[in-house]
Protein backbone atom coordinates (compact mmCIF):
# COMPACT_ATOMS: atom_id res chain seq x y z
CA UNK A 1 0.00 0.00 0.00
CA UNK A 2 1.30 3.48 -0.75
CA UNK A 3 -1.71 5.78 -0.47
CA UNK A 4 -5.43 5.98 0.26
CA UNK A 5 -7.70 8.67 1.57
CA UNK A 6 -10.86 10.73 1.68
CA UNK A 7 -12.20 13.55 -0.45
CA UNK A 8 -9.96 16.13 1.27
CA UNK A 9 -7.09 14.00 2.53
CA UNK A 10 -4.42 11.67 1.24
CA UNK A 11 -3.00 9.09 3.67
CA UNK A 12 0.38 7.79 2.56
CA UNK A 13 3.54 6.08 3.74
CA UNK A 14 6.50 8.09 5.07
CA UNK A 15 9.12 9.70 2.84
CA UNK A 16 12.53 10.99 3.99
CA UNK A 17 11.34 14.55 3.28
CA UNK A 18 8.80 14.18 6.12
CA UNK A 19 11.55 14.42 8.76
CA UNK A 20 11.21 18.20 9.24
CA UNK A 21 7.44 18.05 9.63
CA UNK A 22 7.74 15.12 12.05
CA UNK A 23 10.28 17.02 14.14
CA UNK A 24 7.99 20.07 14.17
CA UNK A 25 5.24 17.87 15.64
CA UNK A 26 7.62 16.88 18.44
CA UNK A 27 8.58 20.55 19.00
CA UNK A 28 4.91 21.50 19.38
CA UNK A 29 4.00 18.83 21.93
CA UNK A 30 2.24 19.88 25.10
CA UNK A 31 4.63 20.19 28.09
CA UNK A 32 2.48 17.62 29.93
CA UNK A 33 3.47 14.95 27.36
CA UNK A 34 6.18 12.67 28.86
CA UNK A 35 9.69 14.02 28.14
CA UNK A 36 10.77 11.03 26.03
CA UNK A 37 8.17 12.07 23.42
CA UNK A 38 9.25 15.73 23.29
CA UNK A 39 12.36 17.45 21.89
CA UNK A 40 15.21 17.61 24.39
CA UNK A 41 16.78 20.98 25.31
CA UNK A 42 19.71 20.15 23.02
CA UNK A 43 17.41 19.38 20.09
CA UNK A 44 17.00 15.59 19.94
CA UNK A 45 15.68 13.83 17.99
CA UNK A 46 17.61 15.76 15.34
CA UNK A 47 16.57 15.92 11.69
CA UNK A 48 19.02 13.13 10.91
CA UNK A 49 17.57 10.97 13.69
CA UNK A 50 14.08 11.60 12.32
CA UNK A 51 15.27 10.53 8.86
CA UNK A 52 16.75 7.36 10.40
CA UNK A 53 13.41 6.61 12.08
CA UNK A 54 11.57 7.05 8.76
CA UNK A 55 14.02 4.75 6.95
CA UNK A 56 13.56 1.94 9.47
CA UNK A 57 9.81 2.38 10.13
CA UNK A 58 7.86 -0.78 9.22
CA UNK A 59 4.15 0.16 9.34
CA UNK A 60 3.26 -2.43 12.00
CA UNK A 61 0.58 -3.22 12.97
CA UNK A 62 -0.80 -2.65 9.45
CA UNK A 63 -1.43 -0.07 8.15
CA UNK A 64 0.87 1.55 10.72
CA UNK A 65 1.13 5.32 11.02
CA UNK A 66 0.39 7.20 7.82
CA UNK A 67 1.24 10.76 6.84
CA UNK A 68 -1.87 12.85 6.23
CA UNK A 69 -1.71 15.50 3.55
CA UNK A 70 -4.23 17.82 1.98
CA UNK A 71 -5.18 16.83 -1.55
CA UNK A 72 -4.52 19.56 -4.10
CA UNK A 73 -2.02 21.69 -2.16
CA UNK A 74 -0.12 18.64 -0.90
CA UNK A 75 0.35 20.37 2.48
CA UNK A 76 1.39 17.86 5.14
CA UNK A 77 -0.98 18.16 8.12
CA UNK A 78 -0.08 15.36 10.52
CA UNK A 79 -0.13 11.62 10.89
CA UNK A 80 -2.73 9.05 11.84
CA UNK A 81 -2.82 5.29 12.07
CA UNK A 82 -2.23 2.26 14.23
CA UNK A 83 0.51 1.54 16.77
CA UNK A 84 1.17 -1.49 18.96
CA UNK A 85 -0.97 -1.39 22.06
CA UNK A 86 0.70 0.00 25.14
CA UNK A 87 -1.72 -1.50 27.68
CA UNK A 88 -1.21 -5.03 28.91
CA UNK A 89 -4.94 -5.73 29.37
CA UNK A 90 -5.62 -5.65 25.62
CA UNK A 91 -4.08 -6.87 22.39
CA UNK A 92 -6.06 -4.46 20.22
CA UNK A 93 -3.93 -2.17 18.07
CA UNK A 94 -4.09 1.44 19.21
CA UNK A 95 -5.37 4.32 17.12
CA UNK A 96 -3.00 7.32 17.23
CA UNK A 97 -3.06 10.78 15.63
CA UNK A 98 -0.96 13.91 15.81
CA UNK A 99 -1.50 17.06 13.75
CA UNK A 100 0.41 20.34 13.44
CA UNK A 101 -1.21 23.05 15.55
CA UNK A 102 -1.79 25.26 12.50
CA UNK A 103 -4.29 22.68 11.23
CA UNK A 104 -6.26 21.84 14.38
CA UNK A 105 -10.05 22.11 14.46
CA UNK A 106 -10.71 21.58 10.75
CA UNK A 107 -11.99 18.04 11.27
CA UNK A 108 -8.81 16.54 9.81
CA UNK A 109 -8.05 14.11 12.66
CA UNK A 110 -11.60 12.77 12.69
CA UNK A 111 -11.66 12.40 8.91
CA UNK A 112 -8.24 10.71 8.71
CA UNK A 113 -9.05 8.40 11.62
CA UNK A 114 -12.37 7.38 10.00
CA UNK A 115 -10.38 6.24 7.00
CA UNK A 116 -7.97 4.30 9.23
CA UNK A 117 -10.95 2.66 10.95
CA UNK A 118 -12.39 1.61 7.58
CA UNK A 119 -9.07 0.12 6.60
CA UNK A 120 -8.74 -1.62 9.97
CA UNK A 121 -12.14 -3.22 9.50
CA UNK A 122 -11.14 -4.37 6.01
CA UNK A 123 -7.91 -5.82 7.44
CA UNK A 124 -9.96 -7.95 9.83
CA UNK A 125 -9.38 -6.24 13.19
CA UNK A 126 -12.35 -6.66 15.52
CA UNK A 127 -11.52 -3.87 18.01
CA UNK A 128 -9.27 -0.84 18.28
CA UNK A 129 -8.12 0.79 21.50
CA UNK A 130 -6.79 4.24 22.22
CA UNK A 131 -5.01 5.66 25.23
CA UNK A 132 -5.44 9.34 26.00
CA UNK A 133 -4.53 11.69 28.85
CA UNK A 134 -7.55 12.91 30.82
CA UNK A 135 -6.58 16.55 30.08
CA UNK A 136 -6.59 16.01 26.29
CA UNK A 137 -10.06 17.36 25.54
CA UNK A 138 -9.56 17.59 21.78
CA UNK A 139 -8.40 13.99 21.49
CA UNK A 140 -11.24 12.74 23.70
CA UNK A 141 -13.69 14.65 21.50
CA UNK A 142 -12.24 13.10 18.33
CA UNK A 143 -12.47 9.62 19.85
CA UNK A 144 -16.06 10.22 20.95
CA UNK A 145 -16.97 11.37 17.42
CA UNK A 146 -15.43 8.15 16.09
CA UNK A 147 -17.49 6.00 18.45
CA UNK A 148 -14.82 5.04 20.99
CA UNK A 149 -16.09 4.44 24.52
CA UNK A 150 -14.30 4.79 27.84
CA UNK A 151 -13.53 1.35 29.29
CA UNK A 152 -13.18 2.82 32.79
CA UNK A 153 -9.67 1.40 32.89
CA UNK A 154 -6.97 3.97 33.58
CA UNK A 155 -3.39 4.39 34.68
CA UNK A 156 -3.09 7.07 37.34
CA UNK A 157 -0.28 9.54 36.72
CA UNK A 158 -0.02 12.72 38.80
CA UNK A 159 2.82 14.08 36.68
CA UNK A 160 1.59 13.69 33.08
CA UNK A 161 -2.13 13.24 33.72
CA UNK A 162 -4.16 10.05 34.10
CA UNK A 163 -4.05 7.80 31.04
CA UNK A 164 -7.52 6.61 29.99
CA UNK A 165 -8.19 3.50 27.90
CA UNK A 166 -10.92 3.77 25.26
CA UNK A 167 -12.13 1.07 22.88
CA UNK A 168 -14.18 0.70 19.73
CA UNK A 169 -15.78 -2.43 18.29
CA UNK A 170 -15.44 -2.48 14.51
C1 LIG B 1 -6.08 15.71 19.10
C2 LIG B 1 -5.85 16.27 17.70
C3 LIG B 1 -5.24 15.20 16.81
C4 LIG B 1 -7.21 16.70 17.12
O5 LIG B 1 -7.01 17.07 15.75
P6 LIG B 1 -8.05 17.97 14.96
O7 LIG B 1 -7.77 17.81 13.51
O8 LIG B 1 -8.05 19.34 15.51
O9 LIG B 1 -9.42 17.25 15.35
P10 LIG B 1 -10.89 17.54 14.73
O11 LIG B 1 -10.89 18.89 14.11
O12 LIG B 1 -11.24 16.36 13.87
O13 LIG B 1 -11.80 17.51 16.02
C14 LIG B 1 -11.44 18.25 17.17
C15 LIG B 1 -12.65 18.34 18.09
O16 LIG B 1 -12.22 18.72 19.40
C17 LIG B 1 -12.87 19.91 19.79
N18 LIG B 1 -11.93 20.66 20.62
C19 LIG B 1 -10.71 21.08 20.30
N20 LIG B 1 -10.14 21.70 21.34
C21 LIG B 1 -11.06 21.67 22.35
C22 LIG B 1 -11.07 22.16 23.67
N23 LIG B 1 -10.01 22.79 24.19
N24 LIG B 1 -12.17 21.95 24.43
C25 LIG B 1 -13.26 21.30 23.92
N26 LIG B 1 -13.28 20.80 22.65
C27 LIG B 1 -12.20 21.00 21.88
C28 LIG B 1 -13.21 20.60 18.48
O29 LIG B 1 -14.23 21.56 18.65
C30 LIG B 1 -13.65 19.40 17.65
O31 LIG B 1 -14.91 18.92 18.04
P32 LIG B 1 -16.27 19.31 17.21
O33 LIG B 1 -16.10 18.75 15.83
O34 LIG B 1 -17.35 18.64 18.00
O35 LIG B 1 -16.35 20.79 17.20
C36 LIG B 1 -4.92 17.51 17.74
O37 LIG B 1 -5.39 18.39 18.72
C38 LIG B 1 -3.48 17.14 18.03
O39 LIG B 1 -2.72 16.81 17.12
N40 LIG B 1 -3.07 17.21 19.32
C41 LIG B 1 -1.71 16.85 19.71
C42 LIG B 1 -1.45 15.37 19.61
C43 LIG B 1 -2.41 14.56 20.43
O44 LIG B 1 -2.83 14.97 21.50
N45 LIG B 1 -2.73 13.39 19.90
C46 LIG B 1 -3.61 12.46 20.56
C47 LIG B 1 -2.89 11.68 21.60
S48 LIG B 1 -4.05 10.56 22.37
- Residue span of the structural domain in which 82 resides: 3-125
> To test the ligand 1 pocket, which listed residue (31, 141, 167) has its Cβ within 8 A of the most ligand atoms?
141
Q: Does the predicted TM-score (pTM) go above 0.85?
A: yes
Is 146 a member of any domain? no
Instruction: Please tell me the distance from the alpha carbon of residue 104 to that of residue 32, in angstroms, as a whole number.
Output: 18
Domain count, the chain: 1
Q: Is residue 164 part of a domain?
A: no
Sign of CA dihedral 69, 10, 108, 66: negative
For residue range 31-82, list pLDDT tens digits in order: 999 999 999 999 999 999 999 999 999 999 999 999 999 999 999 999 999 9
Measured from the CA of 132, which atom of ligand 1 is nearest? 48
Q: Domain containing 106 — which CATH number?
A: 3.40.630.30
Amino acid sequence: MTASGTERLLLRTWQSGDAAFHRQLWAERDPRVPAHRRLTHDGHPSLTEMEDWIRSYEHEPAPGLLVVQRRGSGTVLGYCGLIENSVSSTEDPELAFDFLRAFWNHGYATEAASEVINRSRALGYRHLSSTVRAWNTASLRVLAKLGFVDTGEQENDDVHGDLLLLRKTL
